[in-house]
Amino acid sequence: MKIVMLDAYTTNPGDLSWDNFRTLGDLTIYDRTPCEKVIERAKDADIVITNKTPITKEIIDCLPNLKFIALMSTGYNVVDYVYLKEKGIPVSNIPSYSTDAVAQLVISFILELAMNVGLHSESVKNGEWSDCADFCYWKTPLMELSGKTLGIFGLGKIGRAVAERAKAFGMNIVAYIPRIHGDEPDYIKLLSLDEMLSVSDVVSMHCPLTPETEGIVNEEFIAKMKDGAYFINTSRGTVVNENALADALNSGKLGGAGLDVLSTEPPKKDNPLLSAKNCFITPHIAWASFETRKRLAGILYDNIEAFLDGKPQNVINK
What is the model's pLDDT at position 63?
98
Say how far apart CA 145 and CA 164 lie, in whole Å. 14
Instruction: Identify the CATH number of the domain in which residue 211 sits.
Output: 3.40.50.720
Tell whether pTM > 0.85.
yes
Range of the domain at 194: 99-281
What is the model's pLDDT at position 79?
96
Is residue 255 in a domain?
A: yes
What is the model's pLDDT at position 75?
86
In the chain, % of residues over pLDDT 90: 95
Instruction: Give mean pLDDT, residues 121-139.
Output: 97
In sequence order, what are the beta bridge partners of 254? Answer: 229
What is the model's pLDDT at position 248?
98
Is residue 315 in a domain?
A: no
Do 52 and 168 sit in the same domain of this protein?
Answer: no
Question: How long, in residues, is the chain?
Answer: 318
Which has the minimum average pLDDT: 176-185, 189-198, 201-210? Answer: 176-185
Cβ atoms of residues 73 and 49 within 8 Å: no
Domain total of the chain: 2
Q: Calculate the CA 74 to chain-centre distance.
A: 9
Say how far apart CA 176 and CA 188 lie, in whole Å. 10
Do 265 and 178 sit in the same domain of this protein?
Answer: yes
pLDDT beyond 90 at 178: no
Tell me the catalytic residues.
236, 265, 284
pLDDT digits (tens, 9 = 90+) for 283-303: 999 999 999 999 999 999 999
pLDDT digits (tens, 9 = 90+) for 36-90: 999 999 999 999 999 999 999 999 999 999 999 999 999 898 999 999 999 999 9
Say how far apart CA 188 and CA 175 lie, in whole Å. 7
pLDDT beyond 90 at 268: yes
pLDDT beyond 90 at 21: yes
pLDDT digits (tens, 9 = 90+) for 57-72: 999 999 999 999 999 9
What is the model's pLDDT at position 182?
83
Is residue 318 in a domain?
A: no
Is residue 108 in a domain?
A: yes
pLDDT digits (tens, 9 = 90+) for 145-155: 999 999 999 99
